[in-house]
């Protein structure tokens, strides 16, 4: 779930970790009551500063995705279908934004990009 975290990305590491978990919730891979790994275990596994994992979990808690129970761990909250859809949409938007930045770098026109997307998804 946490492959290819990108240290170079302008998106902070904690945000990248939180985003992976949000996507897993949106996709239904994580459901209500599932426990997230402890801070110690996830930090060790990803070899990131523990504070980064704590920050990721806190931001998920602020968004209502998880609940941090003192001493017990961090658990996935129930998430409505609307929320899941919104999360999927947001993931798609990020993907497109990322593509557009690359496209600008390569000097590709809008028409070229739109054409390529349509061809790839079989609409052209």
Partner 1 sequence: MDHAIQTKALRYRAGKEFEIRDLALKVPVGSVYGFLGPNGSGKTTTIRLLLGQLRPRAGSISVLGYDVPDQTTQMLAHTGYVPERPHLYPSLTVNEAMQLHAAFFKNWDWSRAEELVTQFGLRRDQRIGRLSKGETGKAMMLLALAQTPSLLILDEPTDGLDPVARRDVLSALVEYVSGGDAAVFISSHLVHELERVCDWVGVLDRGRLISELPMETFKNGLKRLRVGSAPAHLDDPPFAVLAREGDGVSAYELWLVRGWQDPMHQYLASIGADLREVIDLDLEEGFVELLRTARTA
- Report DSSP letters for 1-41, one per residue: --TT--TTSSS-HHHHHHHHHHHHHHTTSS-TTPEEPPHHH
Cβ atoms < 10 Å from Cβ of 91: 14
* Nearest of 35, 34, 40, 47 to residue 2 by alpha carbon: 47
Residue 45 found at the interface with partner 1 (CB under 8 A)? yes
Which CB sits closer to partner 1, 16 or 26?
16
Residue 60 found at the interface with partner 1 (CB under 8 A)? no
Stretch that binds partner 1, among 37-45, 69-77, 78-86, 110-118 (CB under 8 A): 37-45
Residue 49 found at the interface with partner 1 (CB under 8 A)? yes
Residue 100 found at the interface with partner 1 (CB under 8 A)? no
Question: Phi, psi at residue 70, to the nearest 5°?
Answer: -50, 120
Residue 68 found at the interface with partner 1 (CB under 8 A)? no
Interface residues toward partner 1, by CB under 8 A? 5, 7-10, 12-13, 39-41, 43-52, 104-105
């Amino acid at each position: 779930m946490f492959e290819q975290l990108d240290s170079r990305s302008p998106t902070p590491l904690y945000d990248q970790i939180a985003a992976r978990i949000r996507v897993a919730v949106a996709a239904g891979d994580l459901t209500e009551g599932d426990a997230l790994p402890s801070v110690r275990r996830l930090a060790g596994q990803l070899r990131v500063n523990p504070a980064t994992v704590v920050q990721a979990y806190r931001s998920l808690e602020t968004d209502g995705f998880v609940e941090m129970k003192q001493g017990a761990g961090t658990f996935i909250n129930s998430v409505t279908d609307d929320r899941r859809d919104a999360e999927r949409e947001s993931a798609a938007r990020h993907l497109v934004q990322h593509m557009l930045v690359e496209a600008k770098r390569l000097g590709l026109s809008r028409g070229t990009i739109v054409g390529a997307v349509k061809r790839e998804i079989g609409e052209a």
